[in-house]
Amino acid sequence: MARGDSASKVARAARAGSSGGAGERRKVGFPAALVLVVLLGGLLVFWARTDREATSAPRVGDHWHSAYDVYVCDDFRSKIVIETDPNGIHSHGDGLIHVHPFNKLASGSDATLGEFFSAFGGSIDDESFLLDSGELVLEGADCNGEPGVIKVARFDADDLDREPEVVIEDIANIRFLKNREAFTIAMVPEGVEPPRPRTERLSFLDTVDPVRLQSDSPTLATTTTVVD
């Protein structure tokens, strides 16, 4: 009888142990599944955002034009004439930026002022910019007795009376947002705003003909009228 009771206790204990292990597995399994769902959700959000940015304007095949000018202290610089362009943001030596992405490296969120500068072999950041002439403009240099500050002013070429957006930080990542913008890349004293691009740069926006531009090749040919 004692042996029977003892065997029954052992069996009950075994069943209880087995049941407890399953419960522990359920307790561990639920948080693991929850973490997996959260990770998958995060990956889906990241993928959707990346895909949206890759397909946002300007897209491959778009052809926008922006006027630009370069202004240092109190003097405008000459236009950029180097035309080598690997990705599709370039100039034809005409005082315009042609935003014509050949690939994703110059489209959507990657269609930036930094991409334009790197295409012709220059560079731009918050402390300096390098022109195709070899001139390096450094923030802090003397501008009529005051230290200069690197600034970029964004104008709307179709509404020049509107106040420009003036950017002093993260300049290389300034995005091209639409057709017919106008930019002045400048170094001026802190209290001075960059002027709008010169009139001839702005007026050329009205005469440029995208059909005549050989913009489908990384090495471009000038087919437009050259202006200072």
CA atoms within 13 A on the CB side of 88: 21
Token pair listed for 98? 């042609």
Dihedral of alpha carbons 107, 113, 115, 117, sign? positive
CA dist., res. 100 & res. 77, Å (int): 24
Contact between residue 227 and residue 94 where contact means Cβ atoms under 8 Å apart: yes
Domain positions in the chain: 1-54, 64-212
Taking only Cα atoms into account, the Rg of the chain, rounded to an integer number of angstroms, comes to 30
Whether the model clears a pTM of 0.85, i.e. scores above it, the answer is no
pLDDT of residue 21: 53
Contact between residue 39 and residue 46 where contact means Cβ atoms under 8 Å apart: no
pLDDT digit of tens for each residue in the chain (228 aa)? 454 555 554 455 445 455 555 555 555 565 666 666 666 655 554 443 444 444 588 999 899 999 999 999 999 999 999 988 999 999 999 999 999 999 999 999 999 999 999 999 999 999 999 999 999 999 999 999 999 999 999 999 999 999 999 999 999 999 999 999 999 999 999 999 999 999 999 998 888 765 544 444 443 333 333 334
DSSP secondary structure string for all residues of 131-186: -TTS-EEETTSEETTEEEEEEEEEEETT-TTSPPEEE-SSGGGPBP-SSSEEEEEE
pLDDT of residue 224: 36
Helix, strand or coil, per DSSP, at residue 130: strand
